[in-house]
């Protein structure tokens, strides 16, 4: 059930793959972004009860909406998932930072009642922002490993898919992931202390 942007996205993916359009990633971004937001919102509205959401399912739905699966190869799909992960990160961090910023402003009275009402989201906003910052630092030293984190944590992808996207072995992906967690954990605890 491909959506109306499907043709466009599929064509962009194909052109990108064939090297015909270097700007394809930039053109894909807004299309995928909108779709992801829409799907994420729809999911969250229906799954509010337990506040969970299957990231993979979400990206997959966006993918189905946007890409004509019959026309593209697994490689294109890998690219798509790579973009999606980056966007998921952007969307989520936007929310988290905006949430944090909103907390800091405004009259004290309202702020107080809001704080009581939304501890949950505040906590995870704070954690996400800290994590994102730490990840920035990590990216400087370990660009590929940080890509693994992005695909897995923000894109919700499995090691196998990640290995396809990054064209490394699955074992490397797992090693990268383990190392990244150690490194980030140290960074976060260091900052907190």
Partner 1 sequence: MPPKDAERLAELVEHAFELEGAERAAFVTQSCGDDAELRAEVDALLGEQEHVSKLMAAPAIEFGAALFIGDGTDAGELPAGEMLSDYRIVHLLGEGGMGEVYLAEDTQLHRKVAIKLIKSGFGTKAFVRHFQQEERILAALNHPNIARLYGGAVTRNGLPYFVMEYVEGIPLADHARARSLGMDEKLALFRKVCAAVSYAHQNLVLHRDLKPANIRVTEEGEPKLLDFGIARLLDPVTSETDNLTMLTAGVMTPDYASPEQRRGDRMTTASDTYSLGIVLYELLAGEKPNLRKNGQTEAKKFGGDIDNIISKALRPEPERRYASVGQFSEDIRRYSEGLPVIARKDTHGYRASKFVRRHKAGVAAAAVVLLALLGGLITTTRQMRIARQERDRAQIAQTKAEQARRQTELAKKQADRLNHFLEDLLSSADPAKMGKDVKVVQVLDAAGKSIDDDLAKEPEVLAQVHETLSRAYERLKVIPPAEQHARAALGILRQLHGEEDLATAKAEFLLGSVLASVYQLKEAEPLVRHALAVERRQAPPDAFALAETLRVLGGILSRDVRPGEAAPFLAESLALMRTSRGEHSLEYVQVLYTQAHAKHMETEVAAMQNRKADLDGAIAGYRRVIELFDQLAPSSTQAILARVELCICLGREQKWAEEEQELERLDQECRKTLGENNAFSVTSRGLHSILDFIKGDYPRVLEEARQPLDFSVANMPANHRNVVQLRGLYGLALTRTGRAAEGEPFLRAAYTEGSKTERFPFQFTFGNVETALGECLFAQGRYAECESLLLTGYDDLKTRLGEKLPMTVAAARRLRELYTAWNKPTEANRFAVQENPPANSSR
Residues 41-60 within binding reach of partner 1 (CB under 8 A) = 41, 44-45, 48, 51-56, 58
Q: How far apart are CA 181 and CA 184, in angstroms?
A: 5
> How far is the CA of 133 from the CAs of 126, 146, 156, 163, in angstroms?
11, 12, 19, 25
Residue with tokens 């693994």: 148
**Helices within the chain (DSSP H only):** 6-18, 24-46, 55-66, 74-104, 108-117, 119-141, 143-149, 159-166, 170-192
Which one, 1 or 141, has the nearer CB to partner 1?
A: 141
Select the residue interacting with partner 1 from 62, 72, 78, 88 (CB under 8 A). Answer: 88
Instruction: Pick out residues in 96-155 that bind partner 1 (CB under 8 A).
Output: 96-102, 104-107, 109-110, 113-114, 116-118, 120-121, 124-125, 127-128, 131, 140-143, 145, 149, 152-155
Which one, 3 or 142, has the nearer CB to partner 1?
A: 142
Which one, 1 or 120, has the nearer CB to partner 1?
A: 120
């Amino acid at each position: 059930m491909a959506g109306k942007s499907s043709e466009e996205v599929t064509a962009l993916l194909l052109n990108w793959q064939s090297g015909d359009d270097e700007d394809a990633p930039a053109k894909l971004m807004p299309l995928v972004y909108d779709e992801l937001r829409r799907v994420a919102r729809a999911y969250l509205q229906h799954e509010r009860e337990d506040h969970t959401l299957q990231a993979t399912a979400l990206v997959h739905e966006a993918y189905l909406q946007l890409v004509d699966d019959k026309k593209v190869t697994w490689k294109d799909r890998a690219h798509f998932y790579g973009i999606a992960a980056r966007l998921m990160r952007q969307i989520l961090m936007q929310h988290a930072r905006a949430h944090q910023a909103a907390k800091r402003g405004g009259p004290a009275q309202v702020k107080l009642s809001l704080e009581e009402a939304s501890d949950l989201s505040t906590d995870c906003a704070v954690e996400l922002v800290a994590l994102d910052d730490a990840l920035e630092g990590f990216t400087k030293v370990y660009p590929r490993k940080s890509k693994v984190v992005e695909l897995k944590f923000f894109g919700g992808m499995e090691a196998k898919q990640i290995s396809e996207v990054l064209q490394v072995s699955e074992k490397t992906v797992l090693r990268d992931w383990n190392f990244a967690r150690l490194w980030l954990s140290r960074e976060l605890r260091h900052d907190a202390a």
